[in-house]
Amino acid sequence: MRPEAQQMIEYIVRLIRRPNLNIEESTPLVSSGLIDSMALVDLLLKLEDLTHLRIPPGKVQPKDLDTVAKMFATAQRVGKPRK
Amino acid sequence: MNRFSSLIEALDAAPADRTFITAWIDEDAHENVTFTEFRCRARLQAKIFRDHGVSHGDRVIIVMPQGIPAMTAFVGALMLGAVPAFLAYPNFKVEPSKYRSGLAGVTANLCAKLVVIDEEFPDEMLSYVSLSDQTTLLHASHGRMLGGELEFTKLEDHSESLAFIQHSAGTTGLQKGVALTHGAVLRQIEHLAQELETDPATDRIYSWLPLYHDMGLIACFMLPMVCHLPVVMQSPLDWVMHPETMLQIISEYKCTLAWMPNFAFQFVPRRTPQGRWAQYDLSSVRALINCSEPVRASSMHEFQSAFTSIGLKSTALQSCYAMAENVFAVTQSDIRGSSGPVRIWADGQLFRVKHLIVPVAKEAPGSVSFQSSGRLLPNHDVRVVSDSGELLDGVHVGEILIKSDSLFEGYYNRPNLTAHAIVDGWFHTGDLGFYLEGELFVVGRKKDLLIVGGENLYPQDIEEIVGSHPAIHDGRVVAMGVYNPDLGTDDIVVVAEVEQAELLANSAEIELEIRNLVVAGTGLAIRMVFLKPPKWIVKSTAGKAARSATHKKLLQEHPELNSIEGGTNSHEARSTADD
């Protein structure tokens, strides 16, 4: 697993306050109800930090953030280099 | 008397080469259109719509991301005399199930001839667009393939025919479609332009507001279109992710006018690192208008204190009372004044017990303050009435009724709702307030009112007090009434999020301090305080705490509250609709 993905998982565990939960890159987060839609703003900001990309939020739907793997794939698909 | 007979006539009169819209995407990307370019693109849309059978009076629903293509589609429909309506575009912040139910309800009610979506509209949402045999689904991208422009035939004077339908905020349930005529919209804009002294040579509007909401649609799209003002806009999603961009855009484009809801006056300074404030310059701003019910002096003060050092004038922050049913504004604070909107202090006890406003000195013990939403626009009239409909004088709080020359025609396809809302020409707003010495003060929603031991309380007032505690995340507090059958009255229950989960270890201490603050501020005791970790409270699509949904969540986690409510769902009867 890439270190950025590991950092994202650690961030999510803190965000949802479930320290004992085992989250993999493919664990469904939104569709399983682990993360609500309002927390996705924080998640997207974290994703911008980890990828050093600017992610246009208008190009992102909840399904694009459903797993950690999808988050990074989405960042690559729609992200733009940050100044 | 309107200068124009339709919104299209107003657009046609705009100077050809003047910039109309700048759609700001980020530091490196933005798109500009002049009034002429906008007209050409709108006419192309009109041609495409006409080719799909759209004609006068047909509803055209536009579900597209915020931007120039959505705006040209809207005006293209207007050019045909059709009746467009913007609906919110699905986004990552909105629960898909909530969005789907809203989309299905609203599209069914409008019975549109055409539903326009963009090529990225999520497939899984499409089945929730209610399409009858008469409805065509059009992908906006298809239009780019077609050439030619509408041979534009000037429409007859249709100032009193329907122009468009705007919906209340959010995406939930059966939103009410507010039907507005060209005449009503033009009259409103004329009043607004007069009150704000707009000048196309010097003014520029900034907006992050959604086009499906009256602030975004009327103040930041129709007003500049009719008055020929430039507008710089960004998407609401970009703003919510990076609110600092508002400061960046206003500084770069020297914007002079903007509108925002109350929460944004706190959100921007709190989410912009203080070390970067000095990079920006707000000296160009003439009026930044708070359009919330109620307008909070503390929020305005926070914004003013933060940004005075970067040129924000002491008279720049203004207020207004606005609603879709009146196209937009009912009142506007006097922008020529020397000190911003009027603020008064009144006896807190008399306000709560008798709903009576007795002005007192600012320092008087137990005083409560009210920020005015401004003075009535021309050709507007207001009444404040009791529950029994009796006309009240200026010192009594009651329901606000309005009558004006820009009032809506009714809720689209909802005759019963319309009949309840407009009685003898007076629109019953559902807001409570008082009208004193020509200033309208809005104190809260009638359905939110908590009556505790005979005292009138507004959840927002309690939430503001609780939110001032340093351990509590301001804006993430919900106060609600839970019926106590033993006492025959409501008890106040408060749910509040702490700033960090670790603070929950000090719950007992924080709870006691909160109780003391509320007693000191209102004279009333809270029955129960529930401290919750960050992100617990349910938020609406507009980012506000959603009372009704939070109440339901609380009942699920604390079933003991059901027994207090005596098996009746007293809250639901008065549940707030902000979610």
Contact between residue B545 and residue B460 where contact means Cβ atoms under 8 Å apart: no
Looking at the structure, tell me whether residues B372 and B281 fall in a common domain.
no
Amino acid at A28: P
Looking at the structure, tell me whether residues B44 and B119 fall in a common domain.
yes
Q: Work out the mean pLDDT of chain B and round it to a whole number.
A: 87
Domain membership of residue B578 (yes or no) is: no
Amino acid at B74: F
Exposed/middle/buried for A76, CB within 10 Å: 0-12, 13-18, 19+? exposed
- Which one-letter DSSP state was computed for residue B247? H
Q: Is B124 at the interface with chain A, CB within 8 A?
A: yes
Residue from A41, A66, A77 to probe the interface with B (highest B Cβ count within 10 Å): A41
Q: Which of B72-76, B111-115, B227-231, B376-380 has the lowest mean pLDDT?
A: B111-115
Query: How much is the pLDDT for B140?
Result: 83
Looking at the structure, tell me whether residues B141 and B281 fall in a common domain.
yes
CATH value at residue B377: 2.30.38.10
Looking at the structure, tell me whether residues B429 and B466 fall in a common domain.
no
Q: pLDDT confidence of B574, banded at 50, 70, 90? A: very low
Q: Which residues in chain B touch residue A15, judged by CB atoms under 8 angstroms apart? A: 535
Determine whether the interchain pair A15/B535 forms a contact, defined as Cβ–Cβ distance below 8 Å: yes
Contact between residue B380 and residue B402 where contact means Cβ atoms under 8 Å apart: yes
DSSP-derived 3-state class of residue B165: strand
Query: How much is the pLDDT for B145?
Result: 45
CA dihedral B547, B549, B551, B554 (to 10 degrees): -130
Domain boundary among B394, B428, B448: B448
Q: Is the pLDDT of residue B143 over 70?
A: no
Sign of CA dihedral A32, A37, A43, A48: positive
CATH value at residue B27: 3.40.50.12780
Domain boundary among B448, B468, B502: B448
Nearest to B222 by CA among B271, B192, B189: B189
pLDDT in tens, B186-224: 999 999 999 999 999 999 999 999 999 999 999 999 999
Looking at the structure, tell me whether residues B138 and B164 fall in a common domain.
yes
Domain count along chain B:
3
- Which one-letter DSSP state was computed for residue A58? G
A61 min Cα distance to partner chain B (Å) = 4
Looking at the structure, tell me whether residues B168 and B259 fall in a common domain.
yes
Nearest to B91 by CA among A30, A52, A34: A30
Nearest to B557 by CA among B514, B518, B528: B528
Q: pLDDT confidence of B568, banded at 50, 70, 90? A: very low
Domain membership of residue B335 (yes or no) is: no
pLDDT in tens, B388-406: 999 999 999 999 999 999 9
Exposed/middle/buried for B255, CB within 10 Å: 0-12, 13-18, 19+? buried
Contact between residue B376 and residue B383 where contact means Cβ atoms under 8 Å apart: no
Query: How much is the pLDDT for B564?
Result: 52
Looking at the structure, tell me whether residues B244 and B309 fall in a common domain.
yes
In A, minimum Cα distance to B122 occurs at A61
pLDDT: which is higher, B92 or B306:
B306
Q: Which residues in chain B touch residue A11, judged by CB atoms under 8 angstroms apart? A: none
Q: Which residues in chain B touch residue A65, judged by CB atoms under 8 angstroms apart? A: 92
Q: What domain range includes position B393?
A: 343-448
Contact between residue B96 and residue B79 where contact means Cβ atoms under 8 Å apart: no
Looking at the structure, tell me whether residues B465 and B399 fall in a common domain.
no
CATH value at residue B499: 3.30.300.30
Residues in a beta bridge with A63? none
Looking at the structure, tell me whether residues B293 and B350 fall in a common domain.
no
Looking at the structure, tell me whether residues B413 and B496 fall in a common domain.
no
Residue from B68, B92, B240, B537 to probe the interface with A (highest A Cβ count within 10 Å): B92
pLDDT: which is higher, B568 or B503:
B503
Q: Which of B27, B95, B240 lies at the smallest CB-CB distance from A41?
A: B240
Exposed/middle/buried for B444, CB within 10 Å: 0-12, 13-18, 19+? buried
**Distance set, CA B102 to CA A59, B334, B564 (Å):** 21, 38, 32
Looking at the structure, tell me whether residues B262 and B186 fall in a common domain.
yes
Looking at the structure, tell me whether residues B110 and B158 fall in a common domain.
yes
Domain count along chain A:
1
Query: How much is the pLDDT for B176?
Result: 87
Domain boundary among B448, B478, B507: B448
Q: What are phi and psi of A63, to 5 degrees?
A: -65, -25
Amino acid at B561: L
Tally C-beta pairs within 8 A across A and B.
57
Domain membership of residue B1 (yes or no) is: no
In B, minimum Cα distance to A40 occurs at B93
**Which spans in chain A are helix H?**
3-15, 39-51, 68-78
CATH value at residue A35: 1.10.1200.10
Q: What domain range includes position A65?
A: 3-81
Domain membership of residue B484 (yes or no) is: yes
Once rounded to an integer, what is the mean pLDDT over residues B328-345?
A: 93
